[in-house]
Amino acid sequence: MLERPLIAGWQCAVCGESVDIAQPFSWRCPRASDDDRHHSLQLLQSISPLRSSGDANPFLAFRPYLAVDAFMGAHGLTDAARAAMIGELDTLVAAVEGRGFVTTPFERADALSDALEFGADGGVWVKDETHNVAGSHKARHLFTILLHLRAAEFCGLAPWATAADRPPLAIASCGNAAIAASTLAAAVSWPIRVFVPSSPNLHVTKRLGELGAQVVECPRLPSDPPGDPCVHRFREAVAAGAVPFSVQGPENAWCLDGGRTIGWEMARHMEETIVGPPFDRLFVQVGGGAFAASVAAGFRMSGITPRLHAVQTEACAPLERAWTRALELGGPKGAAAHWAECMWPWEHVGTSAADGILDDETYDWLPVLAAMADGNGSPVVVSEAQVLEANEVGCRLTGIDASHTGTAGLAGLLALRESVVGGSVAPDERVAVIFSGIRR
Ligand SMILES: Cc1ncc(COP(=O)(O)O)c(C=O)c1O
Ligand SMILES: [Zn+2]
């Protein structure tokens, strides 16, 4: 009999407030407000051996480790009923997408490893998320929010009477997250409002329209405070009752639950199939930070803590600035007490082909900082030339058709090899990267 991982609930890394796992719609820290968004709910979970049931669907394979599974259990659903909730939702997603969630490929990239002069014992392993639901890793984060909503409805916890009275979902994005959110919403015919910039990517908005999303263009209004107008409109919608269907932990902590499946898949794959020492380094591209926070949390639950390198571009690197500030202020462990002094919007966001990681603020900076500190990692800031080179080399030598955002983690490896200060990736080191999104 497997020992069950104990999920007690959430605790805010900033104010210490706790939230029981049974609490429905616990999207944000209860002490967060519109004027004080500096809160960061993290899962409180005992470490236990990470085992997979062997199911191809990661949400079924690792179900006992999911917070949403504990939520369903706390409301009396049996194991069989919980598995059925996941299976049914996945079937609905597959009906829209043509495929449901499956464990994505993760292999040593031999030609790439040779080109980067790794030895036979070392190398680069690439996790390929380009054929995940909606073409990126983003749907993993959103699946657990949707599952929470569906389970709450099923258990009679929702304040709305019928499906027709459901509050809309809301997201501010014009990229992979918007497509993932609209795909999942379409699967259950849940209305969704997607807040996009005033000159949106028409390729993306076309797809959003096909998926039945309501696309809301957000020009800057004269009355707007500084910051992204899409985020302002998103927050107004949430204040008016919409569900934050967001891939930013401070807006909806439940996105951090499902994102861990990537880390779990990688850690299990390594234990099961790779002979020899575990990974030395993990390079993860960072925009809002939920991705890196979740991957690192997933790895940590397996007992492995590779050195995490959070990768940003020169065009926008608020996380590296926060790391440096935190070191000056007594170290990353105490950073939660210094949010305003460490993390604020990047003043002049430049352009980059890796446009999915140009978030002016790293919303989930606290867990990413903690993960880097735990594993002796560090942030890496890459040049645009390295962003371009990583995509060219990475795609050509693996045959994976990833976007520049998707290959930006590899740019971090190129940068570290070339840097005089930290540039000591030994040929026998094992390095993992995630090609997180398809070229569109
Ligand atoms: C393909 C891809 N990879 C990585 C990221 C970065 O994820 P996060 O914003 O959670 O740091 C994004 C975000 O848009 C993305 O689209
Ligand atoms: Zn709090």
Rounded to the nearest angstrom, the distance between the alpha carbon of 404 and the centre of ligand 1 is 11
One-letter amino acid of 136: S
Probe target for ligand 1 pocket from 256, 357, 369, 400, with the most ligand atoms within 8 Å of CB: 357
Ligand number nearest to the C-alpha of 319: 1
What DSSP string runs through 358-398? --SS-TTHHHHHHHHHHTT---EEE-HHHHHHHHHHHHHHH
Strand order in the sheet with 7-12: 18-20, 7-12, 41-45
Q: At what angle do helices 138-154 and 290-301 cross, to 10 degrees?
A: 80
Query: Would you tell me how many other CB atoms lie within 10 Å of the CB of residue 338?
Result: 15
| Domains assigned to the chain | 7-98+138-256 (3.40.50.1100), 106-135+259-435 (3.40.50.1100)
Distance CA 326, CA 1 (A): 43
Distance CA 242, CA 236 (A): 9
Cα four-point dihedral sign 57, 60, 66, 69: positive
Which region holds residue 46: left if phi is over 0, alpha if psi is between -120 and 50, else beta?
A: beta
**pLDDT tens track for 211-257:** 999 999 999 999 998 888 999 999 999 999 999 999 999 999 999 99
**pLDDT tens track for 136-149:** 999 999 999 999 99
Rounded to the nearest angstrom, the distance between the alpha carbon of 29 and the centre of ligand 2 is 5
User: Residues lining ligand 1, judged by CB closer than 6 Å?
Assistant: 136, 175-177, 247, 285-292, 356-357, 359, 405-406, 436-437
Per-residue pLDDT for 1 more than 50? no
Q: What is the pLDDT of residue 378?
A: 96
Ligand number nearest to the C-alpha of 284: 1
Rounded to the nearest angstrom, the distance between the alpha carbon of 25 and the centre of ligand 1 is 24
User: Which atom from ligand 1 is nearest to the alpha carbon of 247?
Assistant: 10
Probe target for ligand 1 pocket from 130, 133, 138, 358, with the most ligand atoms within 8 Å of CB: 138
**pLDDT tens track for 376-413:** 999 999 999 999 999 999 999 999 999 999 999 999 99
Quick one: tokens of 80? 């069989």
Per-residue pLDDT for 2 more than 60? no
Tokens 């699967």 map to which residue? 187
**pLDDT tens track for 190-205:** 999 999 999 999 999 9
Rounded to the nearest angstrom, the distance between the alpha carbon of 367 and the centre of ligand 1 is 16
Q: Report pTM.
A: 0.97
Nearest residue by C-alpha to atom 1 in ligand 1: 437
**pLDDT tens track for 350-377:** 999 999 999 999 999 999 999 999 999 9
Ligand number nearest to the C-alpha of 339: 2
What DSSP string runs through 47-104? ---------SSHHHHTGGG-HHHHHHHHTT--HHHHHHHHHHHHHHHHHHHSS---PP
Mean local confidence (pLDDT), 39-62 = 92
User: In the 8-state DSSP scheme, what is residue 315?
Assistant: T
User: In the 8-state DSSP scheme, what is residue 345?
Assistant: -
Rounded to the nearest angstrom, the distance between the alpha carbon of 357 and the centre of ligand 1 is 6
